[in-house]
A and B are shown apart, each in its own frame.
Chain A
């Protein structure tokens, strides 16, 4: 298969072998689980249980109340011990509402468990999508975007290709690798389910060539099954090939339009872990309540992959990997390039937690002081979006948010290549995140201001109109009174008629206004 290149990218030290040497370990059920209500991109779920409730494994405890949202389920059976503010894995280090579950150790499913659909081929795409939505599945490559939204058809866009993302391009992370080695059949079945759902005719399954075992396992599985429309493609290991847009470029040579989606090219892209989760949801009726996490880095004694329940504290996973080495000082969720450091290992794993990376000071030495940008252009050379990071840095620094958008700020995928090669140690990605936040903030402010102005103008118009009508009514009354004397009989009928009309208008008008006022109050 003819492969293509994207601009830039980096060859990084892989550090994958450390965690693939040991077999996958399924962790036990911890005493307490902290399940965050928001584990995905989009709105927070609504908690549908109360403290003291007895819950079964797989029972829905957080309800998606918005389109871009994902249900949350109880990872095991036990009791709800409250909705508490607990530290969550988020760059801010802040706490967020979590459902605290005291587990009963019985791991018992409830009666209202989703029905297993072994006959998914006979099901129509709509009900399968509904199943994915019910099961609370999100993208498991790290971004955690609700999968059902991604699977929804877009008007006028026919999907012909499903791209399976098994690239796993960030150093250290091997959870997809392990999954592909151990469960190739399940992933392939997931791929067939999704292909059936979106009507794709072919599946391109991309795996970086640094995972020969996974490639072999998949190739064998494809050869032994009825997967002839699935093609396993070995792609060069370059960071960030696993970016959706970069991967599609490598596979097809085509670029997803800047403001568009892969659907614009007739494609949809899903991570291997997501496909496995979809398969479990459909075929086994199991919502997304556990996942494989790579626990690795020079800061843990026995790097490995573990399968753990959502809500298990980081500390438990590290303990399962032999515990910390002495003088570990950094714990990162995600990979070394895009992951963020957490301040506390009490935070629980969530649906998007693909990796825990622990490092010591000697492994990631503190970069020197931030120096001025010397415009060396290394960042331009490595940028996979072909941006000019050095120029965007100036604009972010000077808060020139119009120009920075003109330079493609929102095409930045925050892969971190630029920051990694910057000789001046400038945290470039932070500057772009800052600029994006500011722009979104301003956009919100602007919308609010627009709404306020519209309301004000409406109110003003209404008051003017009321004044005018009052004046008109007065004038008519005066005229009628004046005419009453001159033409008492002949025009009486006409006057009464006019009064009647005015009365009718009066009753109609205030009703309309009241409803407008009500609306206004409700908005405010």
Chain B
């Protein structure tokens, strides 16, 4: 009897790339819903449109590059990039911001470098940084829950705002937006107030603005689930959050009036989603265990430096991109000791 020959292993295959990506997507759901709960339909509109655009650009590029479209779209990596990008963009941002950002993320940051697996930089963060430096005004308008509630902002009005870039008649940006915790802290400290005065504000919960705390908690939940499912390893999230908390703690102990608490840093801005969902993008991160720890530490420290002394209120995106640059070097110098070798791994 004749048989077909195939290569080992002759077992039921374990994971698939698409499966891993989809698990990350599932883990994003609770945090995304929390953000939508607080910041309105705009969050979901952003996610849906960005994912749509990202997939569109992906299909376009894959066709141009003459690769199998079905297989590539099946890996869901474009969906994930679009989703992560959307979460960084203020709800109610105009549609062209989404188009430019996802286009840059997928076309330039991903496919011009060779597509999935070959991009040195995190595509979603490249897209975000491009629109952040290009359209600072649009990127600074975060709606506030109470503003949206007062204006009884509907899904239809949200779509109108996103697609036209203009608020519906009779509405005013000032009434429906409010500074994010990172912005509040930054402006207050620049204008001579103390940290304490900011955190006493009624919109603050235990460590940060209540909404951001809750969104952070739910992203944390999703991140822990990813750890439990072994989709990500602990190295990057733990080292990033620990280093951020440690450096923030040091300055906070030195001068609690001028430097926000470690808890504020961890639960504000993009720290948690960055630690579990963005910095852990395996393609652009370091890949050795020790390399990943250093990678996380670098992101934590750079995030703090940019937040505290840099020109932008949050620094996670920049920190991730900067550490993407050194990831290959980290991998080179942090090779594990090979079994049966003494000293470092270099045989």
Contact = CB atoms under 8 A, between A and B. Distances in A.
Interface of A: 6-7, 12, 93, 171, 245, 249, 255-258, 260, 315, 324, 328-332, 336-345, 357, 359, 363-365, 367-369, 371-378, 380-381, 384-388, 390-391, 405-408, 411, 416, 419-425, 427, 429-430
Contact of A359 (B10, B13, B340): B10
Interface string B198-238: 00000000000000000000000000000000100100000
Nearest to B116: A372
7 contacts: A249-B339, A258-B341, A329-B3, A331-B1, A371-B71, A374-B282, A385-B340
A423 B347 contact: no
Determine chain A's interface SS by DSSP, over half rule. Answer: loop
A398 B16 CA distance: 24
A420 B287 contact: no
Interface string B11-46: 111111111100000000000000000000000000
Nearest to A341: B5
A385 B336 CA distance: 10
Contacts of B1: 315, 324, 331, 344-345
Given A260-B340, A425-B13, A344 B2 contact: yes
B11 to A, nearest CB: 5
B341 A336 contact: no
A375 B122 CA distance: 13
A324 B2 CA distance: 12
Contact of B233 (A344, A359, A377, A422): A377
A343 B5 contact: yes
Nearest to A373: B117
B339 A245 contact: yes
A345 B4 CA distance: 11
Nearest to B1: A345
Which residue of B15, B68, B339 has the most chain A CB atoms within 10 A of its CB atom?
B339
Contact of B3 (A343, A416, A425, A429): A343
Contacts of B196: none
A364 B337 CA distance: 34
B249 interface: no
B5 A342 contact: yes
B2 A375 contact: no
B3 A330 contact: yes
Given A330-B6, A332-B8, 18 more contacts: A6-B339, A329-B3, A330-B10, A331-B1, A331-B3, A336-B9, A359-B10, A365-B12, A367-B13, A372-B116, A372-B117, A381-B233, A388-B288, A388-B335, A405-B347, A411-B347, A421-B15, A423-B14
Interface string B252-292: 00000000000000000000000000000011010111001
A339 B339 contact: no
Contacts of A377: 233, 282, 287-289, 292
Given A371-B17, A388-B287, A391-B331, A419 B9 contact: yes
A375 B331 CA distance: 11
7 tightest A-B CB contacts, nearest first: A372-B117, A423-B15, A258-B340, A341-B5, A336-B10, A367-B13, A408-B338
A420 B75 CA distance: 19
B8 A384 contact: no
B7 A386 contact: no
Nearest to A376: B282
A180 B96 CA distance: 72
Interface residues of B, number: 47
Interface of B: 1-20, 68, 71, 75, 115-118, 230, 233, 282-283, 285, 287-289, 292, 331, 335-341, 345-347
Contacts of B346: 406
A371 B12 CA distance: 17
A338 to B, nearest CB: 6
A346 to B, nearest CB: 8
Nearest to B6: A341
Given A376-B20, A386-B339, A408-B347, A429 B8 contact: yes
A218 to B, nearest CB: 28
Contact of A364 (B3, B11, B345): B11
Contacts of B14: 420-421, 423
Output the residue of B13, B20, B341 with the most chain A CB within 10 A.
Answer: B13
A374 B117 contact: yes
B8 A416 contact: yes
A439 to B, nearest CB: 14
A93 B7 CA distance: 12
B2 to A, nearest CB: 6
A420 B16 contact: no
A365 B11 CA distance: 8
Contacts of A345: 1, 3
A365 B10 contact: no
B233 A171 contact: no
A401 to B, nearest CB: 14
Given A341-B10, A359-B10, A377-B287, A329 B339 contact: no
Contacts of B285: 375
Given A343-B3, A391-B287, A430-B7, A386 B337 contact: yes
A374 B16 contact: no
A190 to B, nearest CB: 28
A93 B5 contact: yes
A411 B341 contact: yes
Contacts of B6: 330, 341
Contact of A380 (B4, B68, B116, B287): B287
Contact of B287 (A359, A364, A369, A375): A375
Contacts of A339: 8, 10
A425 B16 contact: yes
Contacts of B345: 386, 407-408
Nearest to B19: A423
A513 B233 CA distance: 70
Contacts of A367: 13, 16
Contacts of B116: 371-372, 374
Contact of B115 (A7, A344, A372, A380): A372
A277 B13 CA distance: 36
Contacts of A330: 3-6, 10
A310 B319 CA distance: 64
Contacts of B289: 377, 380
A205 to B, nearest CB: 23
Nearest to B232: A376
A458 B19 CA distance: 64
A375 B10 contact: no
Contacts of B18: 368
A374 B280 CA distance: 12
Nearest to B11: A336
Contact of B117 (A315, A375, A387, A427): A375
B18 to A, nearest CB: 8
B9 to A, nearest CB: 5
Nearest to A429: B8
B11 A337 contact: yes
B15 to A, nearest CB: 4
A9 B9 CA distance: 14
Given A330-B4, A341-B5, A374-B116, A255 B10 contact: no
Contacts of B75: 371
Contacts of B338: 258, 385-387, 408, 411
Nearest to A421: B14
A364 B2 contact: no
* Max chain B Cβ within 10 angstroms of own Cβ: one of A359, A365, A375: A375
